[in-house]
Structure 1
Amino acid sequence: MRTNIVLDDKLVKEAFSFVDVSTKKELIDIALREFVNNHRRAQLLTLRGQVHIEESYDYKTLRQERS
């Protein structure tokens, strides 16, 4: 998607100091991915205490049985 935006120069400069990319496009892509991933993690945390996992559940054994 193509778009034009005005960015805070100081914020962009600081963001560049944290990652090894050379373009603003790459920088914004990383920032958007981080933003989405952080919100996904936050949504998962809302499930805390609502999901019950059997104590006998052993994912390693299940994986071995499949292969």
Structure 2
Amino acid sequence: MATNLAIDDQLLVLAQNIGGIKTKKDTVNQALKEFVQRRKQKDIIDLFGEIKYDEDYDYKELRKRN
């Protein structure tokens, strides 16, 4: 999909150099992938303390062989 964007050229070149990426297109795609990955990680971290665990759950009991 072709898209025209007004991107800060200095920032793009800096990201390209830091990432060791050859093209601007690859730099933008990598940045978008990292952005999405970090947001997903944040969503998972936000769940800490929210999930209720069964206090009677005994994983060691489940390891026993009959």
TM-score (norm 1): 0.71
- 1:37 aligns to what? 37
Q: Kindly tell me the number of residue pairs found equivalent between the two proteins.
A: 58
Q: Quick one: distance in 1 between partners of 2:39 and 2:58?
A: 29
CA RMSD across the alignment: 2.1
Deviation at 1:36, TM superposition (A): 0.3
**Runs of 4+ in structure 1 over 4 Å off:** none
Deviation at 1:50, TM superposition (A): 2.1
Q: Quick one: distance in 2 between partners of 1:10 and 1:32?
A: 17
- 1:56 aligns to what? 59
Secondary structure of 2:12 counterpart: helix
Unmatched tracts of structure 1, length 5 or more: 62-67
- 2:5 aligns to what? 5
Most deviating of 12-21 and 37-46: 12-21
- Answer 1 or 2: higher relative contact order, Cα 8 Å, separation at least 6: 2
- Equivalent pairs: percent with the same residue? 29
Question: If you compute each CA radius of gyration, which structure gives the higher value, 1 or 2?
Answer: 2
